[in-house]
């Protein structure tokens, strides 16, 4: 309930409709309002981090405005504005340092799926499936050491299976 009070730091001042609604309806899902705001803040921060590597100063500025309205931490917004300023000044260098070389959530998911598929194909013992999984894992950005380790284990498993026959 504390997150729904007008003077609460959990609600940015740009949310008068939420304040009015939560104050006007007694017992209204008080926990839902702060949760929605946290989700909005998280999405805005993720968008801001991703757009910082886009190379478009106007997209970064627009994302900064949305992030500000969502209550994203000022330090992240300042970093994004520095990137936009550098882009306007024609200085593409420094983008990765400021953005912290963050990978998108999608690429992390792809890497995890490729890694899981690689392990599953190693357990299956199907050489063609394993080779295809290795190519997909490499394309998804799975570390070469991880791929090599799975291949080594698969080689041992295949060798043991052939010896038992």
2: Cβ contacts below 8 Å, ≥ 6 apart: 8, 10
The token duo for 45 is 């921060």
What is the predicted pLDDT for the residue at 157?
56
Is 49 exposed, middle or buried (CB count within 10 Å of its CB: 0-12, 13-18, 19+)? buried
The token duo for 8 is 């609460």
Residues in the chain: 165
28: Cβ contacts below 8 Å, ≥ 6 apart: 21, 22
Q: What is the pLDDT of residues 36-94, one digit of tens each?
A: 878 888 888 888 888 887 778 889 999 999 999 999 889 889 988 988 888 887 765 34
What average pLDDT score do residues 23-34 get?
50
Q: Where are the domains of the chain?
A: 2-99, 105-164
What is the predicted pLDDT for the residue at 77?
92
d(CA 43, CA 27): 27
Is 72 exposed, middle or buried (CB count within 10 Å of its CB: 0-12, 13-18, 19+)? buried
pTM of the complete model beyond 0.95: no
What is the predicted pLDDT for the residue at 165?
40
Give rounded-to-5 percent helix, strand, coil for the chain.
75, 0, 25
For residues 137 and 121, the answer to whether their CB atoms sit within 8 Å is no
């Amino acid at each position: 309930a504390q997150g729904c009070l007008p003077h609460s730091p959990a609600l940015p001042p740009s949310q008068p409709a939420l304040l009015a609604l939560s104050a006007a309806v007694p017992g209204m899902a008080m926990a839902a309002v702060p949760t929605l705001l946290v989700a909005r803040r998280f999405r805005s921060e993720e968008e801001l981090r991703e757009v910082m590597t886009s190379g478009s100063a106007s997209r970064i500025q627009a994302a900064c405005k949305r992030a500000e309205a969502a209550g994203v931490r000022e330090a992240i917004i300042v970093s994004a504005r520095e990137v936009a300023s550098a882009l306007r000044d024609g200085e593409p260098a420094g983008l990765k340092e400021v953005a912290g070389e963050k990978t998108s959530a999608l690429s992390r998911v792809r890497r995890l799926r490729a890694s899981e598929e690689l392990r599953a194909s190693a357990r299956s013992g199907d050489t063609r499936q394993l080779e295809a999984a290795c190519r997909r894992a490499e394309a998804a950005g799975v570390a070469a050491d991880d791929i090599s380790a799975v291949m080594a284990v698969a080689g041992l498993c295949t060798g043991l299976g052939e010896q038992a026959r």
